[in-house]
Amino acid sequence: MTENTVVGLAREAIELTLLISMPMLLAGLVVGLVISIFQAVTQIQEMTLTFVPKIVAVLLALLVSFPWIMRKMITFTEHLILDLPRFIK
């Protein structure tokens, strides 16, 4: 296994991790921004008002994007397993 192969696999793994975490992160970001604007406008500073909607949004984003995430992870794993003989050389 060459250095380029290891670096390439690590890069692919990091890209996949960032890609599959993006729906949940974006949902939390958007909901957090909306809640922050709401709190600034109404001057309500309740801490549970920020956490509960974010948690719900992240869970909903996970439920919606789970099939896509699984397809991406299965494709990546199949690629690794099928290319194993090439990596051993």
- Residue numbers of the domain that contains 17: 3-88
pLDDT band at 70 (very low <50, low <70, confident <90, very high): very high
DSSP conformational letter for 76:
H
pLDDT of residue 57: 96
Over residues 66-84, the mean pLDDT reads: 95
Residues belonging to the chain: 89
Say how many domains are in the chain: 1
Give the list of residues 6+ apart from residue 38 with CB closer than 8 angstroms, or none.
Answer: 44, 49
Which structure tokens are listed for 77? 């794993």
pLDDT tens-digit series, residues 33-65: 999 999 889 888 887 888 999 999 999 999 999
pLDDT of residue 82: 94
